[in-house]
């Protein structure tokens, strides 16, 4: 694909100056058997490559473009902020307003610290948990991805799974040994580990709805059990809502499932597509962070005026009545249509959706409930599906182990157009 295009030429040049030609590994598209397409601009539900071809975009910058690309209220807010300068290294009123809005929307958050990425948020939350509890170990779940900090690259799903990497060189064994990984949706394993090592565990970190092994719904009662067990042993519970925060509702997954963590990590959406992240929780915990407390964390660009302006505009739109009902309806329409395409062609493909995010697990018919089941998917079939959809103008994540996202810009007409393409692609897959 793309052998004699401007995009192909850019990729050749990129490989000379950037490792693998990309600045984030999954973008390399190796697992789907093609070179990456270089993008130039985006508008509404569309993203356009450097050769001028448009695609209905379900990557949505890996989730944050929930309003669609270049939403006029967001771009107007960023342009207004830009006129006043890009960075001050000093407090601004917008970061206070954004922090207040986040705390009002997310039920477990009494205070919040803005940072620059989801990885920075999760890394900082773990440091805070260790400092607050005086314990060293953390517990995570197989296939949940929490960024590329050393403590998290143990059975991390997402990009490392896409590339077939079990962990990562460069992570000292001493650090890796402090991370315990157990299967998601496995109450027995969870109980056994906490029974044996609970007094040494500072925090359990979890994607309440994993989206980095593909979208996996927590089984009934699993998150509530996790909350109960951690509370009993004095372990902090951290919800990594970098993807689910403001994606599954104003209150995120914790409001949707009515389970309150001690700390929450956010990213992506709260910056309207600009680099931003946040972590927050109960006041007594957050006041251990410098300058109030002894646990240090800092960032020159944290709360910068462009990201906070975009975030305020985005969350203001999301706060309007009917927004999440609309997203739910459109995502359900896409889910049901894709399921029908699979059923009509006899192709094994399990569509799993929570809210406006979903994954097509090829080679699967029953529910995917954990990372091991996700790994049994037919990645070669997904790769064919990806390439054929891309050729027909529909952009999906270049990995079986990622999510597709629906935005407000994906109107019924665009969903129907996508399903028309998908019907033809599914029929091609059986030839």
- Tell me the residue ranges of DSSP E strands in 121-276: 137-141, 179-182, 201-206, 236-240, 263-267
Catalytic residue status for 220? no
The confidence score (pLDDT) of residue 148 equals 83
Whether pTM > 0.85 for this model: the answer is yes
Active-site residue among 268, 324, 382, 386?
Answer: 268
pLDDT-derived band of residue 383, with 50, 70 and 90 as boundaries? very high
The full set of domain ranges for the chain reads: 6-70+321-429, 72-318
Contact of 103 with 323, CB cutoff 8 Å: no
* 353-to-1, 124, 330, 332 alpha-carbon distances in Å: 30, 30, 12, 8
Catalytic residue status for 145? yes
On the CB side of 303, how many CA atoms lie within 13 Å of its CA?
19
Contact of 61 with 71, CB cutoff 8 Å: no
Contact of 89 with 95, CB cutoff 8 Å: no
pLDDT-derived band of residue 25, with 50, 70 and 90 as boundaries? confident
pLDDT surpasses 70 at 158 = no
CATH code of the domain occupying 6-70+321-429: 3.90.1150.10
Alpha carbon distance, N-terminus to C-terminus of the chain? 20
72-318 matches 6-70+321-429 in CATH topology: no
One DSSP character per residue, 242-292 reads: TTTTTTS-TTHHHHHHT---SEEEEEGGGGTTSS-EEEEE-HHHHTTBTTT
Active-site residue among 55, 58, 132, 145?
Answer: 145
Active-site residue among 240, 262, 382, 386?
Answer: 240
The confidence score (pLDDT) of residue 165 equals 46
pLDDT surpasses 60 at 156 = no
pLDDT surpasses 70 at 160 = no
Of 161-170, 324-333, 371-380, which gets the smallest average pLDDT? Answer: 161-170
Contact of 293 with 281, CB cutoff 8 Å: no
| Digit-coded pLDDT (tens) for 185-195 | 999 999 999 99
| Digit-coded pLDDT (tens) for 60-106 | 999 999 999 999 999 999 999 999 999 999 999 999 999 999 999 99
pLDDT surpasses 90 at 150 = no
Range 72-318: architecture per CATH: 3-Layer(aba) Sandwich (3.40)
The confidence score (pLDDT) of residue 3 equals 64
Catalytic residue status for 386? no
pLDDT surpasses 90 at 6 = yes
| Digit-coded pLDDT (tens) for 217-258 | 999 999 999 999 999 999 999 999 999 999 999 999 999 999
In percent, how much of the chain has pLDDT > 90? 89
pLDDT surpasses 80 at 154 = no
The single-letter DSSP state of residue 38 is P
């Amino acid at each position: 694909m793309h052998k004699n295009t401007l995009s192909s030429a850019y990729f050749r040049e990129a490989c000379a100056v950037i490792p693998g030609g990309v600045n984030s590994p999954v973008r390399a598209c190796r697992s789907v058997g093609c070179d990456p397409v270089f993008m130039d601009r985006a508008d509404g539900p569309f993203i356009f490559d450097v050769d001028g071809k448009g695609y209905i975009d379900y990557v949505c910058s890996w989730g944050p473009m929930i309003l669609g690309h270049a939403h006029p209220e967001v771009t107007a807010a960023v342009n207004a902020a830009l006129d006043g300068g890009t960075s001050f290294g000093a407090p601004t009123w917008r970061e206070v307003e954004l922090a207040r809005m986040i705390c009002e929307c997310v039920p477990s958050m009494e205070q919040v610290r803005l940072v620059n990425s989801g990885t920075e948020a999760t890394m900082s939350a773990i440091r805070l948990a260790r400092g607050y509890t005086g314990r060293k170990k953390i517990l995570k779940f197989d296939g949940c991805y929490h960024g590329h900090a050393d403590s998290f690259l143990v059975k991390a799903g997402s990009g490392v799974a896409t590339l077939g990497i079990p962990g990562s060189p460069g992570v000292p064994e001493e650090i890796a040994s402090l991370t315990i990984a157990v299967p998601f949706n496995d109450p027995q394993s969870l109980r056994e580990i906490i029974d044996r090592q609970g007094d040494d565990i500072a925090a359990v970190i979890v994607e309440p709805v994993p989206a980095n092994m593909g979208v996996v719904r927590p089984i009934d009662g699993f998150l509530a059990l996790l909350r109960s067990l951690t509370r009993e042993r004095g372990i902090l519970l951290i919800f990594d809502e970098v993807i689910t925060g403001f994606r599954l509702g104003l209150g995120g997954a914790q409001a949707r499932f009515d389970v309150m963590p001690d700390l929450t990590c956010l990213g992506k959406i709260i910056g309207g597509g600009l680099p931003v992240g946040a972590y927050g929780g109960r006041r007594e915990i957050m006041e251990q962070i410098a300058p109030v407390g002894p646990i240090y964390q800092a960032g020159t660009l944290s709360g910068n005026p462009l990201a906070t302006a975009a975030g305020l505009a985005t969350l203001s739109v999301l706060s309007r009545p009917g927004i999440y009902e609309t997203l739910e309806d459109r995502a359900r329409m896409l889910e049901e249509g894709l399921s029908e395409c699979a059923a009509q062609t006899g192709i094994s493909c399990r569509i799993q959706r929570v809210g406006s995010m979903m994954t097509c697990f090829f080679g699967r018919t029953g529910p995917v409930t954990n990372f091991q089941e996700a790994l049994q998917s037919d990645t070669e079939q997904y790769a064919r599906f990806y390439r054929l959809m891309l050729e027909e103008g529909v952009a999906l994540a270049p990995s079986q182990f990622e999510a597709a996202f629906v935005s407000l810009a994906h109107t019924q007409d665009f969903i129907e157009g996508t399903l028309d393409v998908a019907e033809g692609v599914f029929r091609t897959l059986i030839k």
